[in-house]
A and B are shown apart, each in its own frame.
Chain A
Amino acid sequence: MEKEENSEESEMMIYKPLPVEVRVTLEQHSLLLGPTQSSIKKGEDTFLMSYIQTRTPVIPEELTTQFKKNFPLKIGRPAKENKKTRTRKKVLTSIEKRRLGLHKLPKTGIKYKACAPLHQLWVEYMENFLELENSAKAANKDLLYQRIAKADYHGCLLMVTRSKCPSYIGAKGIIVLETKNTFQIICEDDQLRIIPKRDSVFTFNVSKWTFTLFGSHMNIRPSERAARKFKSKPTIDL
């Protein structure tokens, strides 16, 4: 019975009138008046604006600009992702190394305290490698000097004593990276300093000994220094 009545009503009116509560809210938002043509052209959707204002706790300021945006649908297939799987050549080219950021160290990421275990490791390595007790007794110290030239300086606590450029003098820190021309040092203020080897004199301590390095004679890649034979020169200076 009820169903028949409903069907009759539905035949007369396809859409039932809106319930009372909804009508009230709509009136508040002035939709019953209907959006004027000028406002449609401007893009001001007043109902949406006021509806969102009532619901959100904080009114975002960019609402009006965002509402004016058009989001056209893209026609066509989405572009395929280029999957660059490197399976053939394993060794990285220099361009690829640059893209990955493997050629540089970040200036602010590394902390001085974090490098302390590296320094301890280096001190143990040098004490073992240089065999300082034996060389103290030996008259000829050539072996010691050769070993210093071949040694690795990553983790060494280095200090710049003399330099042609006055701003480098007094710089002290742990060597994080050694390149052909530079020492890259982490100073106590967590700053990475890149100090060129040329025209500078460095000193470092191992147990009770202090050693001086003349940077201008050490302008060689660290790996090639392991194979080099250094000749003694009459005068060494800046």
Chain B
Amino acid sequence: MTANVCGKKMNVVGSDGFHRMNFLYQASVVMLNAVPSCPSISSFYGTNIVSIGKKLQLKLDPSLKRTMCKGCKGLLIPGKTAEVRIQKPLTSKKKKKRQKKNNKIQVWKCLLCECVKNYILKSDYILWSEHTVPTM
């Protein structure tokens, strides 16, 4: 499998796996829309994505990884399969030590398996993969 990098065709290591994972992700989206009565299909494809990544040592981009539930590996679509809520910052004494007290928390809850994922909402935070300017 070749990839276009700056106009030149280069062989990317593991691109077979990426091609497959990409297809499986799109397939899980399609099946969620096509067969809403059976959400386990999308979680089956999700487990395949994760296990292919483990076998071939490939990593998922955070933009895709964050839309997959950690428990059932199904797709998280806010409103359809996931519940998104914003929690007030924690005020207990233990949490104050970790300096998280002033930040609100975005809680993603998968409606299938009831797995919860918390994201701390920091205004200045940029993900490593989303950096536009190269930083060390």
Contacts and interface: CB of A to CB of B under 8 A. Distances in A.
Contacts of B19: 125, 128-129
Given A102-B43, A115-B34, A152 B24 contact: yes
Given A92-B113, A100-B72, A105-B40, A150 B34 contact: no
B56 interface: yes
A86 B45 CA distance: 23
Contact of A151 (B20, B30, B41, B44): B20
A118 B48 contact: no
A121 B45 CA distance: 14
A105 B20 contact: no
B73 to A, nearest CB: 9
Nearest to B23: A125
Interface string B24-53: 101100110011011011011101100110
Q: Which of B16, B20, B115 has the most CB of A within 10 A?
A: B20
Interface residues of B, number: 36
Secondary structure dominating the interface of A: loop
B27 A154 contact: yes
- Main secondary structure on B side of the interface with A: helix
With a 10 A CB-CB cut-off, give which of A86, A91, A109, A118 has the most chain B CB atoms: A118
Contact of B35 (A114, A152, A226): A114
Interface string A94-117: 001100111111100111001101
B20 A177 contact: no
Contacts of A224: 51, 55
Contacts of B17: 226
8 contacts: A86-B113, A86-B114, A102-B113, A109-B37, A115-B35, A129-B1, A152-B24, A176-B41
Interface of A: 84-87, 90-92, 96-97, 100-106, 109-111, 114-115, 117-118, 121-122, 125, 128-129, 147, 150-152, 154-155, 176-177, 221-224, 226-227
